[in-house]
Amino acid sequence: MRIRTSLLVLVISLTSASIIVTAFIATQNFTNTLKSAVLENLNTQNVNLMDKINRLMFERVGDIHLLSIGKILGNSNLTLTEKMNYLRAVERAYKTYGSISIYNMNGIKIGDTRNVLIGINESQMPFFEHAIRGEIYYDKIPVMSPSLGQYVLHFSAPIYDNKGKINGVVVTSYPLNKLNDVLQGPFQTDLVSSNGLLIYSNYDRESVMQKNVSDSKIIRMLKDTTNTMNSTVENRMGQDFILVGMHQTGGYLDYKGSGWYLILGDDARELFGVVQQDTNLLFLSAGIILAVAVVIAFLFSGRISKNVNELRRLTQLVSEGNYSVKVETKRAKSDELGELASSFETMRQNVNHVNDNLNAIVTERTKDLKKANSELKLKEIDLNNANEGLRAAEKAKEEFMSMVSHELKTPLSPMKLYTEMLLKSTSSFGSITEKQKKAIQIIHNNILRLEVLVSDILDVYKLDIGRLRLKKTEVDIEELMNQSVAELMPLTTDKRIKLGTDIRTSGTINCDSGRISQVISNLVKNSIDFVPQDNGRITIRVEEERAEKEDKQEKGVSVNDSDSTTGPKARGGDNHKVVFTIEDNGPGMYGNDTDNLFKKFYQIDTTATRKHGGTGLGLAIS
């Protein structure tokens, strides 16, 4: 049998199955249409009932409002008896309320149309607290009325006297069972408060005001979405009901709503029982037909797959590089599998020929690669020799820097010594004039500058090559600060700059005291160049590092030697970091300058007429 015949049988089976599926889809569409119609009817009924509730509550709000602004209850010329007779007439005319009561300013009931519980103090009740403040109030959740012995909704409002002042409260009690007049109907109807309390049910009256249904599926759906209406199927008393719920998000005119939920339900079994039976029968028929189609397909596919598996096995061997395997099947060459096997065999022969040619090319390229590898090794030897030369040059550079540093410092030492001796008043060289002393002082100062410059250049070089080593010891913080200030004090005294300290911690730190002093000296000298004379102020602050650092002030520079701050030890042995901050009242810097501040040889003012000296190495070392 040709493959096309086998496939034709499969197509017939699949076509039968598709007809059944189409019929099933049509049934489902009919069911969905019926469900939509039922839901639409329930939605319409729900909207109408909620509208009736809103209008009913609006009428009760309107009644209490009329009693509040009327001229009877607030008329001081009428006795309490006359006012109560008026309220009884209102109660008989409306035939709506269980009772109407009057309260004085202290919350004492002074009048009631049923003459019950006169004198009771209900000043703590919400209906009194809101009304005495001048508000129209209504209960959103029914409460048990002690005087009526049933659940009611209170509506309250203030009573105004002839001068427009509040002199009491009027309260109407609306019995909860009055909702029957509005909510009775052919559907199961529930009215639920905003907190989930069942306040009305026409089929489960025992649960009214006793059961909380917040965890019901329809209530959860209404709470979890922004939609005011929703629907679902829920099991009630062992039966499935279609439920449609609506959330009261608003009211009607003066009635602003109570946040209630109105749930309508209809028996799903009665609506969809026949449809479900037809659907089940269709499923059964479809299952039988599909089973037969699968058996037929399996029988025919077995005949086809046997030869396909053999062809797959042979082509797998070819794909693994075994080009000597001949690809052929037992089927006639006139059918599709035979033609496919013949095509694979032709392809195998072509690939085998190409593979032989590629092997010859690879052999030739391998020889070229070996030659290239030999040349690469020679170049690697040359590169190693060049690297050795670079390392020798680096070592020579290091030795040169050490020699230059030594040779530059050697003549400076006697120069410095002799200038110091000349500047002493008891010098053995005799007395000198003030003019000579001034000249010698200039020479001495420049010698000191040159000495610092040589040290800075050597430090920068050591930093660049990673040879700068710290000699850490335990150093007392106050002693370190006093020593640094003492060394810097002559520089600030000459310019009448106030140099102070702000030590906010104590104890010792593990650091290189010489380098810490060098950093502080560099920063203070930098500040001396920029603060105003006479009114200049420089403060050195020492404190423990906080968990969250505050932003640095625009005119302050913080210095934190992270390698030297394992202390103080006065804190119970715990390691803490110490922050050294140099703060001055100089002109500050712009963002561009702060980015380049710690670069070597950088100067903010690089003009020929710049006011401040320096090499630009101090902050780079710091």
Domain boundaries, the chain: 58-179, 470-621
204-221 pLDDT, tens digit each: 889 999 999 999 999 999
CA distance 506 to 483: 15
Q: Residue 4: what pLDDT?
A: 53
From residue 602, give the alpha-carbon distance in Å to each of 136, 188, 619.
78, 88, 9
Q: Residue with structure tokens 């119609």?
A: 37
Residue 368 structure tokens: 């070229």
What is the pTM (predicted TM-score) of this model? Answer: 0.46
Residue 50 structure tokens: 């909620």
Find out whether 128 and 122 touch, Cβ atoms under 8 Å.
yes
Closest CA to 53 of 156, 228, 170, 184: 184
Residue 148 structure tokens: 């009526």
Q: Residue 570: what pLDDT?
A: 41
Query: Which residue ranges of the chain lie beneath pLDDT 50?
Result: 1, 547-564, 569-573, 608-610
Q: Residue 269: what pLDDT?
A: 72
Helix axes 80-94, 3-69, angle to 10 degrees: 150
8-60 pLDDT, tens digit each: 566 666 776 677 777 778 777 767 787 788 888 889 999 999 999 999 999 99
The secondary structure of residue 552, as a DSSP letter, is: P
CB burial class (10 A; 0-12, 13-18, 19+) of residue 57? buried
From residue 407, give the alpha-carbon distance in Å to each of 345, 397, 403, 451, 467.
88, 15, 6, 12, 20
- b/e for 391-405, b at 16 or more Cβ within 10 A? eeeeeeeeeeeeeee
The secondary structure of residue 233, as a DSSP letter, is: E
CA distance 329 to 340: 10
Q: Residue with structure tokens 């070597």?
A: 600
CA–centroid distance for 551 within its chain: 25
Residue 190 structure tokens: 């529930």
CA distance 527 to 441: 23
- b/e for 465-482, b at 16 or more Cβ within 10 A? eeeeeeeeeebbbeebbe
Q: Which CATH class is domain 58-179?
A: alpha beta
Q: Residue 6: what pLDDT?
A: 60
Q: Residue 165: what pLDDT?
A: 93
CA–centroid distance for 369 within its chain: 57
Q: Residue 605: what pLDDT?
A: 58
Closest CA to 421 of 398, 401, 441, 442: 441
Q: Residue with structure tokens 């049509």?
A: 26
- CA terminus-to-terminus distance, the chain: 93
From residue 299, give the alpha-carbon distance in Å to each of 6, 307, 313, 389, 500.
10, 14, 22, 82, 102
Q: Residue 350: what pLDDT?
A: 80
Q: Residue 274: what pLDDT?
A: 61
Find out whether 199 and 208 touch, Cβ atoms under 8 Å.
yes
Beta bridge partners of 500: 539
CATH code for the structural domain at 470-621: 3.30.565.10
Q: Residue 559: what pLDDT?
A: 41
